[in-house]
């Protein structure tokens, strides 16, 4: 099978890239070992984070770092057995997490994050699933006045500079917005611009169906088999080798397995996280996703129930599961919202691909003609898949990019 482009990885980033290449007249084979939106794109909170311009920083207060290292916190966890492998990346992440680093990343993120909802709407309309989009925003919740006041200051002094709209809400307004939340919160911050969906995997699969309807080839294959094929590239699939002049690595947390094999060295890391669905008690409902910022978890109304997603776990990608964060936040979540029994037998484990500066890599590999990259979206892969897919497709087809791609180049490292 011969195509114009092979896209490796059928998560939100990969399938969106494939669709944008199709729109520009390219024949595309989308290769994945499992299927569309079955890995990282399956297990997020379902939020299209239009406000997510200012990045997550590694803590710099030694008391916080020590608490995380001792696994005494709920918002982060750490596997000591992974330290030899992840320490170099963590150090670079810590070193970047300054005010200067934060603002540099925020300036680079702004052009792509501000378009994220528009680009999802475009693909949703094309796929016929615009009805999945919930325009309810989301809430950050606080259990202490000190935490709420600090958040309001940060919103006004930092995030507002980048156009992030945030509105403080007190107890009474919070009760109107989410009447089934219990009175453990002193207030919250409403973020009206983000949107959400009740099943992020279903949205990814709808994009995959659109790709196939347009004539794209969805193929089961092994990305690690990528090798040169004359002036182009080839990959082994269940039905034999496929080839193309161009290939896109969009494998999320597995992207470095391919780039390393091609001699490309990057400071690549992962943050892991867990989720579990719960049946709500009685007629209890959530109207939008909420983030318990004090504790460090999210609750979101999903098609399978109320989904709790945990904060970050620092470990190697393939370390054994250790859902200690979920065990710790579950009783706190039950004290905040009427949750009944768990829906699944075991927690789901996902991985977020991260570079130290919390920016994705979008562009062609230096010295590797035809090898393109679109990965490293950290917490925002579901959010940014369509917009970074568009940007890369414009670069690959010679179209004028809608924004300068220079900040996302791989050679910044």
Strands 348-354 and 187-191 come out as unpaired
pLDDT in tens, 203-214: 999 999 999 999
Would you list the DSSP string of 67-104? HHHTT--SSEEE-GGGHHHHHHHHHHHHHH-SHHHHHH
- What confidence score (pLDDT) does residue 69 get? 80
Pick the more confident residue, 361 or 72.
361
- What confidence score (pLDDT) does residue 68 get? 81
Helix (H) or strand (E) holding 232: strand 232-237
State the pTM of this model.
0.97
- What confidence score (pLDDT) does residue 60 get? 85
pLDDT surpasses 90 at 171: yes
Would you list the DSSP string of 200-231? HHHHHHHHHHHHHHTT-EEEEEEEEEEEEETT
pLDDT tier for residue 354 given thresholds of 50, 70 and 90: very high
Residue 259, both tokens = 């780039």
- The rounded distance, in Å, linking the Cα atoms of 324 and 330 is 10
**Stretch 164-173: mean pLDDT:** 97
pLDDT in tens, 82-127: 999 999 999 999 999 999 999 999 999 999 999 999 999 999 999 9
Dihedral sign of CA atoms 182, 51, 102, 266 in order: positive
pLDDT surpasses 80 at 197: yes
pLDDT in tens, 26-70: 999 999 999 999 999 998 999 999 999 999 999 888 888 888 888
pLDDT surpasses 80 at 228: yes
- What confidence score (pLDDT) does residue 32 get? 97
- Are 80 and 33 in contact by the 8 Å Cβ rule? The answer is no
3-state secondary structure of 148: helix
pLDDT surpasses 90 at 194: yes
pLDDT surpasses 80 at 1: no
pLDDT surpasses 80 at 167: yes
pLDDT surpasses 80 at 5: yes
The per-residue pLDDT of the chain, averaged, comes to 96
pLDDT in tens, 89-99: 999 999 999 99
pLDDT tier for residue 349 given thresholds of 50, 70 and 90: very high
> What percentage of the chain carries pLDDT values higher than 70?
100
Q: Which residues 6+ apart lie within 8 Å of 410 measured at CB?
A: 264, 266, 361, 363, 365, 366, 373
- What confidence score (pLDDT) does residue 319 get? 96
382: left (phi > 0), else alpha (psi -120 to 50), else beta?
alpha
């Amino acid at each position: 099978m011969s195509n114009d482009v092979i896209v490796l990885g059928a998560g939100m980033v990969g399938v969106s890239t494939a669709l944008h290449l199709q729109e520009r007249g390219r024949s595309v084979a989308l290769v994945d070992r499992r299927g569309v939106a079955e890995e990282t794109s399956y297990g997020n909170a379902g939020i299209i984070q239009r406000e997510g311009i200012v990045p997550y920083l590694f803590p710099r207060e030694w008391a916080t770092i020590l608490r995380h290292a001792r696994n005494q916190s709920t918002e982060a966890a750490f596997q000591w057995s992974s330290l030899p492998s992840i320490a170099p990346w963590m150090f670079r992440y810590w070193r970047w997490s300054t005010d200067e680093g934060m603002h540099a990343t925020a300036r680079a993120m702004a052009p792509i994050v501000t378009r994220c909802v528009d680009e999802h709407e475009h693909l949703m309309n094309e796929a016929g699933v615009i009805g999945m989009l919930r325009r309810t925003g989301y809430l950050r919740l606080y259990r202490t006045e000190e935490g709420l006041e600090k958040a309001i200051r940060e919103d006004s002094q930092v995030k507002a500079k980048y156009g992030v709209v945030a509105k403080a809400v007190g107890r009474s307004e919070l009760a109107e917005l989410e009447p089934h939340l219990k009175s453990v919160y002193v207030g919250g911050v409403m973020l009206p611009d983000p949107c959400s969906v009740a099943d992020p995997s279903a949205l990814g699969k709808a994009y995959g169906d659109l790709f196939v309807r347009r004539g794209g080839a969805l193929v089961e294959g092994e990305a690690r088999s990528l090798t040169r094929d004359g002036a182009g590239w080839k990959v082994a699939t269940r039905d034999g080798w496929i080839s193309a002049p161009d290939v896109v690595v969009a494998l999320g947390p597995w992207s470095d397995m391919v780039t390393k094999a091609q001699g490309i060295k990057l400071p690549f890391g992962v943050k892991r996280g867990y989720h579990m669905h719960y049946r709500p008690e009685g007629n209890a409902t959530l109207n939008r996703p909420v983030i318990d910022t004090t504790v460090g978890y999210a609750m979101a109304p999903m098609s399978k129930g109320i989904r709790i997603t945990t904060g970050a776990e620092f470990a190697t990608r393939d370390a054994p599961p250790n859902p200690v964060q979920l065990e710790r936040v579950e009783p706190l979540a039950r004290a905040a919202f009427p949750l009944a029994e768990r829906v699944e037998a075991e927690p789901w484990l996902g991985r977020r691909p991260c570079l130290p500066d919390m920016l994705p890599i979008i562009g062609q590999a230096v010295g590797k003609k035809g090898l393109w990259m679109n990965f490293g979206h950290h917490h925002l892969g579901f959010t940014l898949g369509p917009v970074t897919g568009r940007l890369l497709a414009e670069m690959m087809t010679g179209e004028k990019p809608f924004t300068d791609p220079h900040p996302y180049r791989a050679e910044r490292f």
